[in-house]
């Protein structure tokens, strides 16, 4: 292998640009992180789908279920968020009672519906969704997602005050889900 510069590499009769390869790999990972399928990324960038798959396998750090956790109204939101971050949970949406009402009141009807639809659509990307809330909310989210969710009940509906959630119990639940 002969190096022409930091960017160019001679391999036999070919001259290869490391920068172009790096840019392509970055774009592939960026599009996959945005939720595009391997086939969609391959089609968009004009590469084989197997290249996308092999790149992901090459860089894979953790294999296993992608997990989302949604919960409200949570008194110890920051403590729980920190515990879930340490466990590497892929998506966390926790709200206090006040934040839940601010979320609803801060949007017009159409904005609220659109935001909720985006959240629901996004939840389908996860292998497991954990819902922390009342049994009624857990059942509603399960029906809307049209797949089983793992519920952690914190009270009877309607819950109108923040509830303490034991982070150790939720972390244990996450670890069991990953098995």
Give me the residue spans of the domains in the chain.
2-59, 67-178
- DSSP label of 36: -
Taking alpha carbons only, the member of 133, 72, 79 closest to residue 102 is 72
Cβ contacts of 114 within 8 Å, gap of 6 or more? none
What b/e readout covers 48-87, taking b as 16+ CB neighbours within 10 angstroms? eeebbeebeeeeeeeeeeebbbbbbbbebbeebbebbeeb
Taking alpha carbons only, the member of 144, 101, 99, 137 closest to residue 121 is 144
Q: Provide the pLDDT for residue 64.
A: 66
Q: Is the pTM of this model over 0.85?
A: no
Taking alpha carbons only, the member of 63, 42, 40, 62 closest to residue 52 is 42
In DSSP terms, 91 is beta-bridged to 68
Q: Which CATH class is domain 2-59?
A: mainly alpha
Chunked into runs of 10 residues, the chain (179 residues) has average pLDDT values of 66 91 93 92 93 84 78 97 95 96 95 93 91 95 90 94 97 90
Q: Provide the pLDDT for residue 60.
A: 62
Task: List, in sequence order, every beta strand (DSSP E) within 87-166.
Answer: 91-94, 128-133, 150-153
Q: Do 2-59 and 67-178 show the same overall fold?
A: no
Cβ contacts of 52 within 8 Å, gap of 6 or more? 28, 32, 38, 41, 42
Examine residue 50 and say whether the peptide bond preceding it is cis (omega within 30 degrees of 0): no
Counted residue by residue, the chain has a size of 179
- Candidates 3.30.360, 3.40.50, 3.30.450, 1.10.3470; correct CATH number of 67-178? 3.40.50
Taking alpha carbons only, the member of 155, 137, 127, 7 closest to residue 68 is 127
Q: Provide the pLDDT for residue 87.
A: 93
């Amino acid at each position: 292998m002969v190096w022409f510069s930091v960017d160019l590499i001679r391999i036999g009769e070919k001259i290869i640009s490391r920068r172009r390869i790096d840019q392509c790999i970055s774009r592939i990972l960026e599009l996959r992180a945005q939720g595009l399928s391997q086939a969609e990324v391959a089609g968009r960038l004009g590469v084989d789908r197997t290249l996308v798959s092999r790149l992901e396998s090459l860089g894979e750090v953790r294999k296993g279920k992608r997990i989302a956790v949604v919960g409200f109204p949570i008194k110890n939101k920051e403590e729980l968020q920190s515990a879930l971050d340490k466990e590497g949970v892929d998506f966390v949406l926790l709200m206090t009672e006040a934040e839940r009402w601010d979320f609803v009141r801060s949007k017009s009807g159409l904005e609220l519906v659109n935001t909720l639809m985006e959240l629901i659509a996004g939840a389908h990307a996860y292998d497991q969704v954990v819902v922390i809330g009342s049994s009624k909310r857990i059942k509603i989210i399960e029906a809307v997602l049209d797949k089983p969710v793992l519920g952690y009940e914190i009270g009877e509906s309607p819950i109108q005050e923040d509830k303490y959630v034991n982070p150790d119990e939720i972390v244990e639940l996450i670890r069991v889900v990953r098995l």
